[in-house]
């Protein structure tokens, strides 16, 4: 038999046609139809109150046609840039070779209530459309990233009456980028975790250390510690996301001095081994992003001190860091698109004591899975569990 040469796209359609024929039989009851395409938000389905643009990622067989229609939110969202008159509510296209995206533009939300746009997206041959929603928060509110398809560093949120969540954004160039996210415990007046990406885009700059201490504007000041002066006794105002991790702009660095980012940390831990651990984590920076979660753990609340305003606050019994990055550091891929063999993680579990002015010891190294068990939080939810169960201090230059 002579095999004729066809372009790859033609071979793809021939294969799809053969599969379609093979599925048409009297015994096909219960078979699931093959969807012609998929559409999803490229990053997240929640956006800030500022005007901007969200991106839909489209995939499917080359040549498949599609139609997108805004069915709710037509007065503030559009497929046409700067046209919110209703002319840009419907658009058609077809899947082409390479990356396929569709932009949805939206105006600023100046209201005190959030709002939702609904997009109906249909591929030719489908009976039911895909329905996607874009949620825009009210002015002054923060965006809570999605668990699935959101930021890689965000732990899964836990429901607790004392927990409040927020994400801080900053301007970097002409873009709004996330600075860090946190889970704040009102009862303990401290963040239980602070999650953030680490990349040269955040560390390269001459912002320096602004030392502009202030309340976090996203939380009520009444349940934050008052730290215009430091904690009483031998405790520093210990950053969870370090000032040195955010040097690109003054705004970026200023947000690390919010009181929500502080805990009462022994000065001989903060300025010695913990500070050296922060320095070492910065050396793990790579072309791909390093993802970091730093947290405070309270095994009990019997040890207390006073904040700068004279308010009683509990002292953490432990601190931790969990890290995730690609092994090569230059895959150019999202970690959620990587195989387990392409990723590595490590955890650091630190007792709240003085270790001396030493480099981080091997004894504080553990797996991310172990810290999940200790804290009850689920870290890096988009990667395989096996990656979180394994760690090798040598791979992270810990001797």
- CA–CA distance, 333 with 234 (Å, rounded to integer): 44
Domains of the chain, residue spans: 37-136, 163-396
Task: Check residue 266 and give its pLDDT.
Answer: 98
Task: Check residue 22 and give its pLDDT.
Answer: 41
Two tokens at 278? 């922060």
Topology alike, domains 37-136 and 163-396: no
Q: Is 176 helix (H, G, I), strand (E, B) or coil?
A: strand
- Residues of 204-213 as b/e, b for ≥16 C-beta within 10 angstroms? ebebeebeeb
- Reduced 3-state DSSP string for 150-171: CCCCCCCCCCCCCEEEEEEEEE
Two tokens at 391? 């760690």
What is the topology classification, in CATH, of domain 163-396? Answer: Extracellular Endonuclease; Chain A (3.40.570)
* CATH code, 37-136: 2.60.40.10
Helix/strand/coil percentages in the chain, nearest 5: 20, 35, 50
Q: Which helix (H) or strand (E) holds 15?
A: helix 8-23
- Of the candidates 391, 392, 337, the residue with the CA atom closest to the CA atom of residue 368: 391
Looking at the DSSP bridge assignments, the partners of residue 294 are: 194, 321
Task: Check residue 385 and give its pLDDT.
Answer: 95
Task: Check residue 27 and give its pLDDT.
Answer: 40
Residue 323 CB-density burial (10 A; 0-12 exposed, 13-18 middle, 19+ buried): buried
Task: Check residue 28 and give its pLDDT.
Answer: 37
- Residues of 325-358 as b/e, b for ≥16 C-beta within 10 angstroms? bbeeeebeeebeebeeeebbbbbbbbebebbeee
CA torsion sign for 214, 216, 220, 224 is negative
What's the pLDDT tens digit per position in 36-47?
788 887 766 778
To the question of pTM greater than 0.75 for the whole model, the response is: no
Question: What's the distance, CA 369 to chain centroid?
Answer: 19
Q: Is 298 helix (H, G, I), strand (E, B) or coil?
A: coil
Long-range contacts formed by 327-332: CB under 8 A, 24+ apart? 327/395, 328/288, 329/286, 329/287, 329/288, 330/286, 330/287, 330/288, 331/288, 332/287, 332/288
Query: Do 286 and 292 meet the contact criterion of CB atoms below 8 Å apart?
Result: no
The pLDDT tens digits along the chain (399 residues) read 444 444 444 444 444 444 444 443 344 334 444 457 888 877 667 787 888 888 888 988 899 999 999 999 999 999 999 899 988 999 999 999 888 889 999 999 988 788 999 999 999 988 888 988 888 888 766 555 444 346 899 999 888 889 988 889 888 887 888 899 999 999 999 999 999 999 999 999 888 999 999 999 888 899 999 999 999 999 999 999 999 999 999 999 999 999 999 999 999 999 999 999 999 999 999 999 999 999 999 998 899 999 999 999 999 999 999 999 999 999 999 898 899 999 999 999 999 999 999 999 999 999 999 999 999 999 999 899 999 999 999 999 998
Helices (H) and strands (E) in the chain, counts: 7, 20
């Amino acid at each position: 038999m002579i095999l004729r040469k066809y372009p790859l796209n033609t071979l793809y359609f021939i294969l799809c046609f053969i599969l379609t024929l093979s599925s048409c039989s009297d015994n096909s009851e219960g078979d699931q139809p093959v969807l012609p395409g998929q559409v999803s938000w490229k990053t997240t389905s929640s956006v800030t109150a500022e005007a901007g643009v969200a991106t839909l990622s489209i995939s499917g067989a080359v040549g498949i046609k599609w139609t997108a229609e805004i069915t709710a939110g037509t007065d503030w969202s559009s497929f046409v840039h700067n046209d919110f008159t209703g002319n840009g509510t419907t658009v058609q296209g077809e899947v082409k070779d390479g990356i396929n995206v569709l932009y949805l533009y939206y105006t600023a939300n100046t209201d005190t209530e959030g709002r939702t746009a609904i997009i109906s997206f249909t591929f030719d041959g489908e009976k039911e459309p895909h329905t996607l929603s874009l949620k825009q928060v009210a002015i002054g509110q923060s965006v809570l990233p999605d668990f699935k398809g959101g930021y890689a560093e965000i732990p899964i949120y836990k429901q607790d009456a004392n927990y409040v969540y927020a994400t801080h954004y900053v301007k970097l160039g002409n873009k709004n980028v996330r600075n860090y996210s946190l889970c704040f415990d009102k009862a303990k007046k401290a963040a239980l975790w602070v999650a953030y990406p680490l990349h040269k885009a955040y560390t390269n700059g001459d912002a320096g250390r602004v030392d502009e201490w202030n309340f976090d504007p996203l939380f009520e000041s009444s349940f934050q510690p008052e730290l215009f002066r430091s904690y009483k006794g031998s405790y520093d105002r210990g950053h969870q996301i370090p000032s040195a991790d955010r040097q690109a702009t003054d705004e970026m660095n200023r947000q690390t001095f919010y009181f929500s980012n502080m805990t009462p940390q022994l000065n001989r831990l903060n300025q010695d081994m913990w500070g050296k651990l922060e320095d070492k984590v910065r050396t793990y920076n790579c072309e791909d992003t390093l993802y970091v979660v730093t947290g405070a753990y309270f095994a009990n609340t019997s040890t207390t001190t006073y904040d700068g305003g004279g308010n009683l606050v509990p002292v953490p019994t432990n601190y931790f860091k969990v890290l995730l990055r690609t092994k090569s550091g230059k895959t150019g891929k999202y970690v959620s698109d990587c195989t387990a063999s392409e990723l590595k993680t490590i955890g650091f579990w630190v007792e709240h004591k003085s270790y001396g002015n030493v480099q981080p010891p091997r004894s504080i190294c553990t797996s991310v899975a172990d810290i999940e068990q200790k804290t009850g939080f689920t870290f890096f939810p988009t990667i395989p569990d096996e990656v979180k169960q394994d760690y090798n201090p040598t791979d992270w230059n810990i001797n």
